[in-house]
Structure 1
Amino acid sequence: MFIAVLDDDPEIVRQLQLVLCELPVRGVDIRVDAHGTCHAFRQALRRSTYDLVILDWELPDGTGIELLSWMRLYLAALPPTMLLTVRNSEEDVVEALSQGADDYISKPLRPQELKARAMTVLRHHGRLPMPARAPQDCYGDICFDPRGQTVMRAGEQVAMTHQEWRLAHLLFSNIDRPLSRGYIYERIWGGEEHHSTRTLDVHIYRVRRKLDLVAERGWQLAAVYGYGYRLRHFGIEELPETESGWEERWMDRSAE
């Protein structure tokens, strides 16, 4: 699980990292990236996917509220976000929530409260590994069996390696969400593979071919240029002409 912390106070950052790395998320490694400026955070979003973002309100080159507005404009999907600040008036809380924050944490930090609120936000956005409530997770005629790690397409089992199955399930669990190469490598290979290798590209090709993820079936598994991959599902008439539209739109509209 990737978490981003944005605060210019080293002691606050240290506390956040300690608390967040102790979140009770079974079977998942937690990585907390720390950033001290709005500029550094925006640059990180060009290459990383985050399951949770915690923003300080006051920063050297902007505010957490401004970053929330920026993310709403330039990202395909706003990541789960919590705002951290000494402000605690009703007006401040309303402003933070109205700008897209999922929750609001006041300083000084209370570790157990932070853990509880972070887990609630992660659970609300489906970022926590949950026990399968049904034997299969189905997406149209493609069904995954998490217990047996098998997948069926149109009623027939598809032969997949362990890593191909995990990659396919990750993509389907994040439909419409752009996933960075680094995020995918960490989730599937645990960082064992170097990010510049062709391992991911080869596995993407195999998943696309084996599950027949083509426009004629309403699927698009495409590279997001300079970032990673995204799986999308459309009605046939809705399929876009370009496979890298998210990156082009994000790059065209972003401003430093």
Structure 2
Amino acid sequence: MKQNVLIVDDEESIVTLLKYNIEQAGFESDVAYTGADALSKAEVTKFDMIVLDVMLPEMDGMEVCKRLRQKQIHTPILMLTAKDEEFDKVLGLELGADDYLTKPFSPREVVARIKAILRRIDRDPEDTHDTKLTIADLEIYPEQYEASIKQIPLTFTPKEFELLWYLAKNKGRVLSRDLLLQKVWNYDFAGDTRIVDVHISHLREKIEPDTKKPVYIKTIRGLGYKMEEPK
């Protein structure tokens, strides 16, 4: 079955261009021209990916992303923004987007990003041979993209889970922000290491008993982060 992509943009020419290239790459697609329409479609249809413009009528892309995550809809989101400000990028990722592209972009780049995100979610067989990884009260199930702490299920965005899994697989190893960008995001974010900090903060809110005194994910000053077994 073909994977289905929801394209959300209020510019018909951009929607037409993206729809053609996404379908040529082997995906099915649906479209929405407003934030409200995108939200209603995503609530009733299980899409594999949402390509979401930030500047939309009725409800902007940031709000759509926020509301989807509040409703526990964790479909991967690739945000499109005409702004090249770090604040916008980080805010989008804070709200639960998985990736972003700044306009103008090439349709081929959009397709490449979609494929990269879906590959990470599908995961290579060599990455899924472990059915469970346990660190103290934290249990991680890579094949199901699920985790629990003290047997209480946790909810993550795809990107948060990938970061958690990579940290856990490398327990005890200090991982730099640049390395995490490369391994988890799969390409160079040109020094936007605050993106890593944002996602680490989200993980700590979900797994740490006290975010001010983390016992699972430690900050190694000047170097990066390390997953540890709580003492």
Q: 1:32 aligns with which of 29, 44, 49?
A: 29
1:56-100 Cα distance to aligned partner (Å, 9 max, x none): 10111011110111011113x411001112111111111111111
Is 2:38–2:64's contact at 8 Å kept on the other side of the alignment? no
Distance 1:32 1:174, change over 3 A: farther
Distance 1:16 1:38 in 2: 17
Does residue 4 of structure 1 match 2:1? no
The aligned residue for residue 15 of structure 1 is: 17
Residues 20-50 of structure 1 show CA distances to partners (whole Å, capped at 9, x for unaligned) of: 1233xxxxx5211000112212221232101
Name the amino acid aligned to 1:53. Answer: I
2:84 to 85, 88, 91: 88
Matches within 5 A, 1:223-238: none
Q: Check the 8 A contact 1:19/1:111 in 2, yes or no.
A: yes
For 2:110, give the aligned amino acid. Answer: L
Instruction: Give the TM-score of the pair, scaled to structure 1.
Output: 0.47
Runs of 4 or more, structure 1, over 6 Å off, are 136-140, 173-176
Deviation at 1:125, TM superposition (A): 1.9
**Structure 1 unmatched ranges of 5 or more:** 24-28, 141-172, 177-256
Q: Secondary structure at the match of 1:87?
A: coil
Query: Which of 65, 76, 82 is residue 62 of structure 2 equivalent to?
Result: 65
State the alpha-carbon separation in 2 of the partners of residues 30 and 174 from structure 1.
Answer: 23
Report the Cα distance in structure 2 between the residues aligned to 1:36 and 1:10, rounded to whole angstroms.
8
TM, length-normalised to structure 2: 0.51
Match of 2:96 among 100, 105, 116: 100
Q: CA RMSD in A?
A: 2.6
Q: Which residue is 1:240 aligned to?
A: none
Residues 115-134 of structure 1: CA deviation (Å, up to 9, x unaligned): 221111111222x8x6x559
Specify the alignment match of 2:40 in structure 1: 43
Deviation at 1:174, TM superposition (A): 6.4
Rg bigger for which structure? 1
Counterpart amino acid of 2:76?
P
Question: Which amino acid in the other structure matches residue 77 of structure 2?
Answer: T
Letter of the 1:98 counterpart = E
